[in-house]
Chains A and B, each alone.
Chain A
Amino acid sequence: MTTVWLPCGDYHENYTEDQGWWQSRLIKGKMILLLLLVFVVIPLLSKYEIILDSYWLGVANMIGYTAMGALGVQLLIGYAGLITLGHAAFVAVGAYTSTLLILKFPWPQVILDLGLAYPISILVAAIVAGFWSVLFGLPSARVKGFYLILTTMAAQFITVDFILTQYVSKIGGRGQAFSLPPGTIKIGPWAIETDTQRYYLMIILLTFSVIIMANLLRSRVGRAWIAIRDNDIAAETLGINIIWYKLLNFFVAGFLAGLAGAFWVCNCAALSPEHFPWFWSLWLVGVILIGGAGINGAIYGSIFMVMIMEILQMAVIPLSEYESLEFLIVKFAFIKDMAFGLAICAFLIYEPRGLSYRWWQIKNYFNLWPFSY
């Protein structure tokens, strides 16, 4: 799926080109345009409030947060065939590690002055989440398929509903939530307070995650994962250490989840376990099912799901002005659940290969346009 049909006359002469990041000049140009769009054009548009305003940057942050989580799920489900229904647990571990480090760790004054506490905590959070994910990935050495789903569900309930809710949240005797007063989260000289700043942080972390994942997938590690997904017994006979690679997959997925969690910290005023319910794990899996295969599948899926919810909200608000339809706004959360459930079912029944497959078809059509062979 990652390959695109090249236009007539473009061909690869050696394997390095075949594995290359940007396979043709057209793709390179498109990618540079995309980077320009996300790094320059969108912030500029929102700064001068052309088409977009800061509300839409908030939506973009939500998309980025979803995408970072979904990338990890894509790595587990899409590339190693390890089905997980507990990814929110690892996002939560990342968020809590980061918060605890910022609020409770006795940082030396130098680091505080330089504003390095949050960046360091992001990295530490990602690593801690990675190891936490390996811990719950251990059963994957013996079980797979449905049984693995159950152990990851256990990870969700044990981590979020038990450890975080009952113990971690009570650190400092504040009850349920850690409040993050404005100004506590600083990167260098900037306190991360506005949506634009969060947007930049999000887009940097997301680009970073995508680079990690894309590079891993085109290396020996990625090929080993794909081999395990396609047939684990055959992979073992080819000399791939299945357990090691499965655990590595769990680690990287947890690492990406940790990044997402640590990013989410700067987006909320107070952190509580309710941010990471089982619903969120299922949501992330739903995102990649709707998005389809590949890294871009995870991103299309996040864009689609977040935008659908926004559109639903925009439809509900004017409708609820009519007196007889006022209940819609009260019950919006429930309507959201129903819409999400229906979207998953509809996609699996009518479009089982997801949005990225459709996109791939469109792209190929235009690559070979007007004379397809």
Chain B
Amino acid sequence: MELFLMTLTTGIMVGGIYALVALGWVLIYKCSGVLNLAMGELTLMGAYVTLAFYSMGVPFVLSILCTLVIGIALGILVERIFLDRLIGEPILAVIMVTVGLSFFLKGLIECIWGTDTRVFEPAIFSLKPFTIGYLKISVVYFWSFVLAIVLFIVFVCFFKYTRWGLSMQATADDETAALSLGVSARFVYAASWAIAFMSAGVGGALLGNINGVNISVGYLGLLVLPAVVLGGLNSVPGAVVGGITIGILQNFAGTYLDAYFPGGVKEIFPFAFMAVFLLFKPYGLWGWIKIERM
């Protein structure tokens, strides 16, 4: 029972980070229809940029803020250089540009920072877990979860209550109508990429705190794909539920299935789950069902 609860809490905590990254993914898809396969590398970028600032002696919270700023700049840059020209192109072209982008970013990161695992030194969170009732919760997970949730609420408020957020929602809903009301679609696309870079960046910084920063953090960023498929591609609440569910599933697979399938079942399980899930519910829990006509 204790093991069950511990796995559950860890799953929820990690799932919070996935939810944050998945939010960025869903935003890009909702606003500009781009299916982004470079999310893993955006996560990686965030992890390394935060690490670079932190190892220069900047306090952790401040370095996360710096990562946000750099994320905005990079997001706008990437959107302007690569994706702006591809609006209206076939889906494969847009997806493959994000793939090309992911290679470019990965190569760049490896060129600059190498492939060795680096850790945040001095450690930001104490290694001693704290206890609630009979649950032991590691400090890293707890604060990561809190930060992810706080940022998540900030993003949601941004959408609901600010002018920019509303114009993004309008574009996502109906691009033509939004354009006729004076919303600049190009601004919205750039903004959605900036936000995606920001959320992935913070997600990466938090994930990097758990096991150190190396290329495999990018793989963790890729886990948003099962998460968004589960929740439905264009649903913001779906991203949260999907992210947390994937976190929980992953940890349960690691705890309970590892005995039967030794090896990397924890890494693979979300993808296997996704493949089976797609067979039964291809549009996810809350995605829009596309009705096709000739």
- Please determine whether B104 and A161 come into contact, CB atoms closer than 8 angstroms: no
Within the assembled complex, what's the spacing in Å between the Cα atoms of A164 and B278? 24
- Please determine whether A348 and B86 come into contact, CB atoms closer than 8 angstroms: yes
- A142-B96 contact given A154-B274, A161-B264, A162-B263, CB 8 Å threshold: no
- A147-B268 contact given A282-B103, A348-B93, CB 8 Å threshold: no
Chain B contacts with A in 129-160, Cβ cutoff 8 A: none
Q: How far is the CB of B82 from chain A (nearest CB, A)?
A: 6
Partner of A154, one of B92, B102, B272: B272
How many residues of A are counted as interface, with CB atoms below 8 angstroms from the partner's CB atoms?
50
Within the assembled complex, what's the spacing in Å between the Cα atoms of A334 and B113? 11
Within the assembled complex, what's the spacing in Å between the Cα atoms of A336 and B292? 41
- Interface digits, A327-352 against B, CB 8 Å rule (1 contact, 0 not)? 00001011111111111110011001
Is residue B31 within 8 Å, beta carbon to beta carbon, of the partner chain? no
Is residue A101 within 8 Å, beta carbon to beta carbon, of the partner chain? no
Is residue A157 within 8 Å, beta carbon to beta carbon, of the partner chain? yes
User: Residues on B close to A: CB < 8 A?
Assistant: 35, 37, 82, 85-86, 89, 91-93, 95-97, 99-108, 110-111, 225-226, 229, 233, 261-265, 267-268, 271-272, 274-275, 278-279, 282, 292-294
- Please determine whether A151 and B275 come into contact, CB atoms closer than 8 angstroms: yes
Partner of B278, one of A151, A233, A339, A345: A151
11 pairs, A vs B, C-beta closer than 8 Å: A158-B268, A161-B267, A161-B268, A166-B261, A231-B294, A233-B292, A289-B96, A333-B110, A334-B106, A348-B100, A349-B97
CB contacts (< 8 Å) of B85 on chain A: these are 349
Chain A contacts with B in 166-194, Cβ cutoff 8 A: 166-167
Tally the A-B contacts, defined by beta carbons under 8 Å: 141
Within the assembled complex, what's the spacing in Å between the Cα atoms of A129 and B262? 25
- Please determine whether B108 and A338 come into contact, CB atoms closer than 8 angstroms: yes
Q: How far is the CB of B189 from chain A (nearest CB, A)?
A: 16
CB contacts (< 8 Å) of B100 on chain A: these are 286, 340-345, 348
Partner of A338, one of B93, B103, B265, B278: B103
Within the assembled complex, what's the spacing in Å between the Cα atoms of A155 and B271? 9
Within the assembled complex, what's the spacing in Å between the Cα atoms of A63 and B105? 26
Partner of B268, one of A145, A157, A344: A157
Within the assembled complex, what's the spacing in Å between the Cα atoms of A237 and B292? 14
